[in-house]
Amino acid sequence: MNPPPPGKFPILQTSFETPPDCGEYSYRGRGRLQGLNALITGGDSGIGRSVVIAFLREGANVAINYLPEEEPDVDDLANFLEGEGLSFERIPGDLLNETFVTELVHEAADRLGGLDIVVPNAGYSGVINGETWRPIEKQSTEQLERIFRTNVFANFFLVRAAVPLLPRGGSFVFTTSGIINTVNSNAVDYGASKASISYMIRSLSAQLAPKGIRVNGVAPSITYSPFLATAGVSKEAIRAISASNAYGRIEQPAELAPIYVNLADPLATYASGNIWAATGSIPGPV
């Protein structure tokens, strides 16, 4: 695996010498989401890209959100999918902007003709001026705020805007992290944000059950993606982590997409309040 040098944000998937496997040539749809309308944040690359591919091949109509700087990755995905007659709606914008998040939800619903599934997937690991995870005495307020505004606040705003639009049978599928089941001593801020999401999942599932809306999450292990590179994980670190795993490698986004499909499938009527892990036997951060 050959990711670009770590520490920059955002890092484009199109800059990878060896791109992640997002299911481009492996995922086969079975019509499980036929006709459903889905909004996916961070849908340009990595895990989000794999979910976009899977949802479209399952028959869903999809809108994605991403940062304007990530347009090259979106173009790459769109060009690939065009070859099989698939397309998605593009709604670029910064989730740090509360007003935009509300507009994003309504714009997606307008373009798709409704909204059935929301996948709050976009995340931020903590990169300020090229630096990544650090001991707490070196962690800045700026980094803490950006992590929580991206990973927690934006997801809160998404749900708040989407709940009135989702019908009975609708669902949220969050991306949390395997870090909630382990300890990374230099990831106090990031780990705390993912723990917040995990609680949000469980709390919202109880609150929204009377409305017939399900809420679940996926907790990946360390996954080969641009997110990993922005988190400051080097090639050497990937090799070391892979060597410690029973599978001898880290996770690929394509291995997570089926879990998102399972949780979004309207037949999973009693699956709510759950966080589904795919850790390759060793929990760890996404």
Residues 6+ apart with CB under 8 A from 185: 135
Which residues have CB under 8 Å from 203's CB, separation 6+?
none
Selected catalytic residue, list 27, 66, 124, 190:
190
Asked if 246 contacts 280 with a C-beta cutoff of 8 angstroms, the reply is yes
Task: Give the phi and the psi of residue 66 in degrees, each rounded to 5.
Answer: -165, 165
Nearest to 103 by CA among 260, 142, 169, 95: 95
124 catalytic? Reply is no
Q: Looking up tokens 């590179």, which residue turns up?
A: 229
Give the Cα separation of 159 and 213 in Å (integer): 11
User: Do 96 and 194 contact (CB within 8 A), yes or no?
Assistant: no
Residues 6+ apart with CB under 8 A from 262: 268, 271, 276
Q: Where are the beta strands (DSSP E) in the chain?
A: 37-41, 61-66, 89-92, 117-119, 171-175, 214-220, 275-278
Q: Is the alpha carbon torsion for 137, 140, 141, 144 positive or negative?
A: negative
CA 175, chain centre distance (Å): 5
Does residue 246 contact residue 281 with C-beta atoms inside 8 Å? yes
The catalytic residues are 190
